[in-house]
Amino acid sequence: MTTLIRSVDINCDLGEGLTIADCEQDALLMPFLSRCNIACGGHAGNHVTMPITLRNALSHGLLCGAHPGYPDKNHFGRVSLNIARSELLDSLVTQIKDLQLHAQALGIELQHIKLHGALYNDAEQSLELASHICQMVAQHFAQLAVLGLPQAAMQQAAQQHGLLFLAEGFMDRAYLSTGQLAPRTQAGAVYTDSEQCIEQVLAILNQRLVTTFDGKQLQLEVDTLCLHGDSQIALHLASTLQDRLSAKNWIIA
């Protein structure tokens, strides 16, 4: 009898430090990933970290994408900014093009865009904002896929603008019964135990279910799973997860 080997796409937000040492720390995670989202100067990242992260990703065979956010390094892009829509969109275009230029210099084609932090959450809760962002993507970066929550605003907007959409699940974050992520300010919203994260991954892969904050079962059909690289458990989680997945005939690809 032939053993069925299944694949899972695991993405990670990287390049969010400021130094070469931060990039070296990121590189430790790369053997356990298939895709990375690289900060491009809005909430984090700079013209030192972008090319180093891209080169490291290339050496590990990872798909690379842009990880733009609110232009607010003081709050790491985790606070909603009340700025003009045109200013926000101009900033996103600049961020993505900056990373794209570094990628092209290395012969890398970017594959996707994933919003960061507060902007990710704001766009998932506002179809108007999501539509403006996806219109910008369609105009400037139509070849790139968009990552977002399944059955939420970004998916609807991406489809309306003819963009490829990849539904994203999270291994290290708690969910609300609405399908949105629980706010980081809420106790227990960010998992700090690797086993809890792994159990959530296996539930999504096998039953397409997660247990929400209020004890309900939420069905998720996803194309990619996110590991947050800035988590204190990230490296232990990534290596342990690979072992657990391999034992169950899953490969990261």
pLDDT score of 11: 98
More confident residue, 207 or 193: 193
**Average pLDDT score over residue span 225-248:** 95
The 10s digit of each residue's pLDDT in 127-162 is 999 999 999 999 999 999 999 999 999 999 999 999
Both structure tokens of 204: 């999504």
**Average pLDDT score over residue span 102-109:** 98
pTM recorded for the entire structure:
0.95
Produce one character per residue of 89-126: b if its CB has 16 or more CB atoms within 10 Å, e if not. Answer: bebbbebbebbbebbeeeebebbbbbbbbbbbbbbbee
Is 238's pLDDT higher than 70? yes
Using pLDDT thresholds of 50, 70 and 90, give the confidence band for residue 117: very high
Side-chain-side CA neighbours of residue 42 (13 Å): 32
Is 1's pLDDT higher than 60? no
pLDDT score of 3: 65
pLDDT score of 207: 87
Side-chain-side CA neighbours of residue 63 (13 Å): 15
Is 172's pLDDT higher than 90? yes
Using pLDDT thresholds of 50, 70 and 90, give the confidence band for residue 82: very high
Side-chain-side CA neighbours of residue 110 (13 Å): 32
Burial class (CB in 10 A: 0-12, 13-18, 19+), 247: exposed
pLDDT score of 4: 78
